[in-house]
Amino acid sequence: MEAGGVADSLLSGACVLFTLAMYSAGLSDLRQMRMTRSVDSVQFLPFLTTDINNLSWMSYGALKGDGTLIFVNATGAVLQTLYILVYLHYCPRKRPVLLQTVTLLGVFFLGFGYLWLLVPNLEAQLQQLGLFCSVFTVSMYLSPLADLAKIIQTRSTQRLSFPLTIATLLTSASWTLYGFRLGDPYIVVPNLPGILTSFIRLWLFWKYSKEQDRNYPLLHT
């Protein structure tokens, strides 16, 4: 196998490994829901939006004939669907959750129908679906900025998960390199905010852990 082929295989493997590690963060929520038999402190919308994002990227991968995109996002969609079903099982107020799910899935399938019925050209389908996937992914990466503002106000990183931050950084970086390798801006651009927000989170961990270390002795004098 040529060096270029080895590099492509390693990069594809890194994308799969890091992305699945990031998706597996939801397993802690799944475990909590099963142990407490409730959905307290578990947010539903991230499961649903990630599922829609996975389905969109899986469709994009199918159009491109990209096995890495298909496998990663098909696996992610299965995991997110599992999280959604468990949430629905333990959620006492199912109607709002079902309404959100039906609404977003309805929008997804309407868009799917539009692309396949009204945009017959494959290149145009790739461009429009790639643009949608990019915008949707960027919005997901930027949505936690409100939490970052609260962290700065409270000077506490309890809201953040350090392992998830590392997984997000590695996932975004690997997909950015993968997109560069393919020359696909629809893959490159939406992962850049993931790298940026991950570095911001790491800086917050560094900054406020130092402040907490300085304050800790004061609390015990």
Q: What secondary structure does DSSP assign to 99-156, as a single string? A: HHHHHHHHHHHHHHHHHHHH---HHHHHHHHHHHHHHHHHHHHHTTHHHHHHHHHHT-
Confidence at residue 122, expressed as pLDDT on a 0 to 100 scale? 87
- Model pTM score: 0.85
Confidence at residue 213, expressed as pLDDT on a 0 to 100 scale? 45
Give the gyration radius of the chain's Cα atoms. 20
Confidence at residue 218, expressed as pLDDT on a 0 to 100 scale? 39
pLDDT digits (tens, 9 = 90+) for 13-72: 999 999 998 888 778 888 888 888 888 878 888 888 899 999 999 999 999 999 999 999
Q: Which two tokens stand for residue 163?
A: 């392992």
- 156 to 13, 80, 141, 197, 207: CA distances (angstroms): 35, 29, 21, 17, 10
Which residue stretches of the chain have pLDDT < 70? 1-4, 144-147, 159, 210-221
Confidence at residue 214, expressed as pLDDT on a 0 to 100 scale? 47
Confidence at residue 159, expressed as pLDDT on a 0 to 100 scale? 66
Alpha-carbon distance of 123 to 12, in angstroms, equals 23
Confidence at residue 43, expressed as pLDDT on a 0 to 100 scale? 82
Contact (CB, 8 A) for 127 and 63: no
- 212 to 186, 203, 221: CA distances (angstroms): 40, 14, 15
